[in-house]
Structure 1
C-alpha cells in the first residue's frame, strides 16, 4: 500500500429509496466515512406510471456540494453510483426529454415474452448477453417504448444510464460507464461492447449511446454552471463503478478468492467473481447474470428480492404504529419458527398494492399456516430469504471453479444479525457481515485508485479490513435447518 497524504473524496451513492453524499478520507491505510447529506429518492406516481425525479437528485447533489464548500472541505474528486437498468433519454440539444421511468413500472410486465416471440428466443437473447432475464432490463424497457410508439423514442439522441446522466448534468460530458451498462442486457459480455444486432431490433444504434468507459476514467470537471452554483473549482468527476453492486463488491473485505458475496439491500445480489463470462446451457437454465466488475472481472450473480419485502410491509405497519426495523426484528425473534415460507422471487411480490396481503395469499394458496402478526410475517420473510440464499449458493457452488468457503454479506442488510445468523445456519458455512457502507467505500476507493493512491483490488480490500469491524456468524443447528429447507423447496 502506498503512503499518501490525507486525501478526501465524495461519493454520491443513490439507492432505490434514498441517496447519500458520503465523504471518504484515506489516512494511514484506513478509510473514514462521514455522511454529508442524506435525502429521499421516492418513486413518483403520475397517472399510474412510475418515474424517478432526475432534477430532484441533481438538486440534492448540488446541495451536497454546497455543504462541502461551506465546511471548507477539500475534495480530490466526485463519483456517482446508482441502481441498474434505468436510463434517461436526451434530445439532440442535450436536454432530457422526460423524467426516467422506474424499473418498478408495470409497463414492461410481459415484455420479455413478446420480445422473444418477435425477435430472438429467450435462449438466444441470454446467450448473446449472459444477463438474467428480468422484465425491467433496459432491453425490455426500450422494446416496450418502441412497441408503445412512445413519442420521445424516435427523437432520442442519447440514452444515458442513471449515474452517467447525473455525471453529465455535472460536467456536460457524456459517457457510458461499463459496469452500469452491463446491467442493461444490451452488451456482449465477451467484447464488452453493445450488441449491434440487438440494438438494430430496437431501431437504435451504438451512436445512441455515449462511448463506453471503464471504472477509474475521468469524465470531466464540474461545469462552469455547477462551479458558480457551488463556489467550488473545477473538481474532477470520476466514472467509478457506476452500478452500486459493482462498487459494493470491490469493497468486499475478502482475504482470498474462495468466497461468495451477498450484497444485501432492497435487492439481494448473490454471486462470485469470475475472470471470464460464464455463459452456457447451465447458466441459462439457472438464469444467472454476468455483469461487469469494477476491476474488469465478471460478477456472476443472481438477483433476489431482498429487503424490499420487509420495506413494503413496514410501510403498512407504520400506518398503524410508528415502528423501526429493530422492532420488526424483535417481533420476528419472538415468533414461532418454521411455520410458513414464500418464494421471495415470485412475480406477485414485485410491485403489489399490499405486500402483507400477497404474503398471506401465497401461504393460503400453498396450504400453509397464514401469518397474521408482524412477527409471524417478518419471520416468514427472514427464514424464506435465508433458504433462498441457500438455494442460490448451491447453484453457485456448481458453477464456481473454486471452493466457496465463506459468504460475505455487505451493504445495509449486513446489519441484520438475525438474518445473518439464519443465513449461516441455512447455508452451513461461515458468514462474515460488513461493511454496511460497502457501496460508498467501493465508490471512494475507485476514486482513490484513479488518483494513484491505491493500486489494485487487493489493496482496496486491505483498506476495508483495516477500516471496519466485521462480525462472523458460524452455522448452528444445521441439521434442523436442512430438514426445514426441504419443506421450503416444496412450497417455493
Structure 2
C-alpha cells in the first residue's frame, strides 16, 4: 500500500481527554495530538458526575478542525474508561449527567446486593472482580435510591457507546467495555438477562452487542452539516475500553508476558485464550475482561498514579516540571510502604493525610516532605505489582518472562526501575500512547488493512521506540 491513510482517535481518560491524528503507511503508524482537554469530575449536589455534553462537544470540535485543515480522515474511534454509563430517553435525549465511578453513593453496594444473591455464583457467571463501582452495583444503587433518570431510561449506554450514539444515532454495546460491567457472560458473549432482571432491567435497554473492529456508520446528517464531514467517513467500534485498546498495542513477540497499563489506574494482567474462572481467581478477586480476537484480559485493577496525582496539588515549593518533581524521590531513602488498594485512598479529602494516617495505623513512619511522599508512592506501587505478578504466575497458562508497560506511567523512569528491581525481571516500556495506538490499529483492522493481532503488534514495534529496564540488584 503506497498511500498514507489518516485516522482520528478519541482517547478519553479519567482526568483528561485527547484527540489524535494517526497516519498509517502500511508499515508503521505516526501519531500527533490534535487537541487535549481537561476532564474533571463535576461535584454537584453531593455527588460526582461526568460532563458528557462537554466531551461530545470536544469531539465535534476536533472533527471540525480536521475538515477545516483539509485533513481527509478514514474513520473515527472512541475509547474510554469502563463501568460508567449514560441514560437516554425514548426521544434519544440524554437524561442527566452520568455518575462518576468514584462517587461514594456505591459505598456498601456489594454488601447490599449480596444479601439477596450468591457472590460466588455471580463470579462464576461473569468472571469479574468485585468492585463497588462496577456497573452492576452502580445500577442497583440507583434503583435502590429511586434515580429518576434510570426509571425513564429507554437506553443505557456505556460511555464510548453513548458518545457513538450521540454522533451517529446508532445504539451499540461494544463487547470490551461491556465486559467491565459485571453484567456480561463471557461464555455467551452477551449481557446476562438474569443479572439484568435482578436489578430491574431488560436486555432491550442496552445496545446491540458489537465486536471490536465493527463499522458503526457515519455521523448524523445534522452533524455532517455542522462539521462538514462527509457520509463516507464512519465511526468504528474499536476496542472501546481503554485498557483493551492499550493491550492490543502491546508489542509482544510471544505469549510469555504480563502487561501493566500504567496511568491513573494500574491494570496488570495477562492475555489468555479463554476466561480463567477458578477458586483462586475468585479468592484473589481477579477479573476477566474482553480483548480483541476472542482473547480474555485476565487482570487485577490496582490503584495507580491516582495517589501521586492527588498528592501533587498539596505539595508546596516543588518544581512544576513533572520530571523534576518525580526526581525528588532520588533524594531520600524513605522506606515506608502503603497498600495502594486500601479503601482509605479511594476518595479522601486529603491524599497526603490519608497516607499519613495509613502509616500511623500500620506502625510506620509517615512521610514529611514531597520527596518522601513520592518515593513512598512509587515504592509501594512496585511492591504491589510484585505481589500481583506472583499471583498471576500461579494462575497463568503460560510462563511470564517479562513485563510490558504501556501508558503514560511508562515514561516514569523511577517507577519503572523500582518495578524492575522489585520484580527481578525485564520491564519493557512503550508505547506511552498505547490506548490511542490500539484505537487506531482497530480502525485499520476494520478497513481490512491488517488481519491479525500478531500483525498489529508488528506495526506497533515498527512505530514506537521501546525502553527496557533491568533489575539493579
Aligned residue for 2:338? 342
Instruction: Return the match for 2:34 from 33, 36, 39.
Output: 36
- For residues 170-209 of structure 1, the aligned pairs below 5 Å read 170-209=167-206
The alpha-carbon deviation at position 154 of structure 1 amounts to 2.1
> Hey, what does 1:94 align to over in structure 2?
92
Q: Does 1:406 align with 2:402?
A: yes
Instruction: Give yes or no for contact 2:327–2:414 (8 Å, CA) kept in 1.
Output: no
Number of aligned residue pairs:
472
Query: CA-atom RMSD, angstroms?
Result: 1.0
Map residues 149-298 of structure 1 onto 2, 5 A cutoff: 149-234=146-231, 235-298=233-296
Identify if the C-alpha distance between structure 1 residues 146 and 283 changes in structure 2 by more than 3 Å, giving closer, same or farther.
same
Distance in 2 (alpha carbons) for counterparts of 1:89 and 1:79: 21
Are the equivalent residues in 2 in contact too, given 1:364–1:370 (CA < 8 A)? yes
Aligned equivalent of 2:112: 114
**Matches for 1:306-385 after TM superposition, within 5 Å:** 306-317=304-315, 323-337=320-334, 339-385=335-381
Alpha-carbon offset, residue 67 of structure 1: 1.1
Instruction: Write out per-residue CA displacement over residues 164-195 of structure 1, whole angstroms, 9 at most, x where no aligned residue.
Output: 00011111111000000000000011111111
Map 1:471-490; keep pairs closer than 5 Å. 471-477=467-473
Give SS of 2:30's match.
strand
Displacement after TM superposition at 1:219 (Å):
1.0
C-alpha spacing 1:28/1:237, structure 2 compared with 1 (3 Å) = closer
C-alpha displacement of 1:324: 3.1
CA contact (8 A) 2:80 2:240 kept: yes
CA-to-aligned-CA distance 1:106-151 (integer Å, 9 cap, x gap): 000110010001x212222211110000000000000001111112
> Corresponding residue for 1:483?
none
CA distance in 2, matches of 1:446, 1:315: 37
What's the counterpart of residue 144 of structure 1?
A: 141
Q: Structure 1: 5+ residue runs without aligned partners?
A: 478-492
Residue in 1 that maps onto 2:425: 429
Deviation string 1:40-72 (CA, Å, 9 cap, x unpaired) is: 111000021100001100110011011111211
Alpha-carbon distance in structure 2 between the residues aligned to 1:388 and 1:269: 11
Specify the alignment match of 2:11 in structure 1: 13
State the TM-score, normalized to the length of structure 1: 0.95
Which secondary structure does the structure 2 equivalent of 1:425 belong to?
helix
From 22, 43, 60, the counterpart of 1:62: 60
CA distance in 2, matches of 1:109, 1:377: 27
SS of equivalent to 1:104:
coil
Runs of 4+ in 1 over 6 A off after TM superposition: none
Spell out, residue by residue over 1:401-445, the C-alpha distance to the aligned partner (whole angstroms, 9 max, x if none).
111001000000000011111101101110000110000000000
1:487 corresponds to: none
Counterpart mapping for 1:387-402 below 5 A: 387-402=383-398
Partner-residue secondary structure (3-state), 2:324 = helix
Establish whether residue 438 from structure 1 lines up as the match of residue 452 from structure 2.
no
Does 1:470 find its partner at 2:437? no
> Whole-Å Cα distance in 2 between the matches of residues 316 and 225 of structure 1?
45
Contact 1:4 1:453 (8 Å CA) reproduced: no
178-187 or 66-75, which deviates more: 66-75
* Cα gap change, 1:257 to 1:147, in 2 (>3 Å): same
1:450 aligns with 2:450: no
1:458 match: secondary structure = helix
Following the alignment from structure 2 to structure 1, what is the Cα–Cα distance between the partners of residues 358 and 325?
21
Question: Is the Cα–Cα contact under 8 Å of residues 317 and 323 in structure 1 kept in the other structure?
Answer: no
Distance 1:147 1:103, change over 3 A: same
Instruction: After superposing the two structures, state which structure 1 stretch, 161-170 or 320-329, moved more.
Output: 320-329
Query: Take 1:322 and 1:353, find their aligned partners in 2: how far apart are those partners?
Result: 23
Whether the 8 Å contact between 2:318 and 2:325 is mirrored in structure 1 is no
SS of equivalent to 2:150:
coil
Does residue 47 of structure 1 match 2:45? Answer: yes
- Report the alpha carbon displacement of residue 4 of structure 1 after superposing the two structures with TM: 5.0
| Shift in Å, 1:196 | 1.2
Checking the alignment, whether the CA contact within 8 Å between 2:78 and 2:160 is kept in structure 1 is yes
